[in-house]
Every structure is written in structure tokens, then in C-alpha cells.
Amino acid sequence: MAIRDIKAALEAHRAAELHGNTLGPWIHDIVYGAHDGIVTTFAVVAGTAGAGLPWGVVIILGMANLLADAVSMGAGSFLSIRNKRDQYHRIRREELAEIDAIPEIEREEIREAYAAKGFSGKDLDRVVDVITSDKDRWAEAMMQEEHGMTEEKAEGAFLHGLATFLGFVVFGSVPLIPYFVFHGGSDNFTYAIVGTAIALLLVGVTRSLVTRERIYRGAIEILLIGGVTASIAYGVGVALKGVAGM
């Protein structure tokens, strides 16, 4: 196969892989935020329904929880990525300092790392010479081989946080929709259960597609987690209804 054909085939392969596609990371963030949004908001709805609280209280508590948790989740995702980036640069500076101070030891660490990968003899000498001939390349290799770290892109941190926030808000709104549409309707909680189950199944199927699992596995797992969480919240609401004098 000609080199041009191989490169074209490689590009097609990368485009077909979620981990090689620019959409992949955002799908993970959206699914992560969506799952937590649905489960936590429906837990509030279930708890208030179990306590027999009026629909207005459900909306107030549900919206307060939805927006506060969405901001918290988005900020958490943003800070997590930024903190990893900051830690990476701190350790990389330390590695560069060690390369200047004790190059023989750092060079031997590279040799051991690549010997463990199966390099030996002249091949090992060559790869060590190539890596240690450039300080930036050397430090990068040390980060990966010694610390198992790669650089997190700072400019992507905000977008990851935003994707998590939007996933949380959009899907987390589902359990509240019946209470906005039908106000004090007697079947609101039933509609919320049905809508939440559908949303959880959708998120589960999406997660399965992203992780390349069997489709039903992710859907069933997420649905079970949501069901257990809602049952606990509903039970707490029923149990504490009398204690609160309602």
C-alpha cells in the first residue's frame, strides 16, 4: 500500500474512533453531567412527593438544587482539569531541574524505562540518545514514563466544565417539567417517573455507545442507580413527613 493510501486510511480510522474524534471528550462530560442531573433532581422530586409537599415547593427546591448543583458540577470539572494541568507543569519544572543537576541519573532512568519496554543493545542506546538529545523531549518522556502524566490543555478546561453544566441542566430539568406544565396535577409525580426513566435510558444508551459496551448494560445500570436513589429519597420523605408535622 502506498504511503498516501496508508495516511488516508489512518485518517479514516481516527475519524471512526470516538477517542480520536473531537466530539468524544464532550460526550463524556455531557453524559457525566446528565446522569448526575437526572438522579439528583429526581431525588428532590421523589423526596418532596413522599412528604406530600405542594407542587410549588417541588419547583422551588428542584430548581434551587438543579442550578446550584449544575454550577458546582461544571466548576468541579473545570477546576479538576486546571489543577491537573498546574500539577503537570510543576512536576515538569522539577524534572527539567533534575536533568540539569543530575543528568546521568535521569539518563539512566530513561534507559531503564525503555529497557522495560523491550529495547536492548544498540536499539536501546539509540532511543536513549535520541530522547536525551533534547531537554524538552527528555522531560516529556520522564513525565510519561516516571509519573504517567500528560499535559492537560488549559483552554479545554472551561469547555469541559460548560459541557458538564449543560448536560446537568438540560437532562436534570426532565423530572421538573410535569410540575411546570400541569402545576398542581395529581399525576405529576407519575409523569416525572416516566420522563425520568426515559431520560435515564437515553443517557445509559449514550454512555454505552461512548464506552463501546453492550447497549443494554449502560442503560440498565443507570436506570437501577436512578431507581435506588429515588426510592431512598421517597422513603425519607415519607418517613420524615410525620416528624415535620405535615
* Among the listed residues 68, 89, 34, the one whose alpha carbon sits nearest the alpha carbon of residue 202: 34
* Among the listed residues 143, 219, 214, 175, the one whose alpha carbon sits nearest the alpha carbon of residue 63: 175
| pTM greater than 0.85 (yes/no) | no
| Model confidence at 1: pLDDT above 60 | no
pLDDT tens digits, one per residue of 37-95: 998 999 899 888 888 888 899 999 999 999 999 999 999 989 988 888 889 999 999 99
* Among the listed residues 114, 151, 116, 148, the one whose alpha carbon sits nearest the alpha carbon of residue 131: 114
Mean pLDDT of the chain: 84
Q: Taking each helix axis from N to C terminus, what angle separates 135-146 and 121-132, rounded to the nearest 10 degrees?
A: 120
Residues 12-16 have a mean pLDDT of 63
Higher-scoring residue by pLDDT: 155, 11: 11
3-state secondary structure of 55: helix
Residues 174-190 have a mean pLDDT of 89
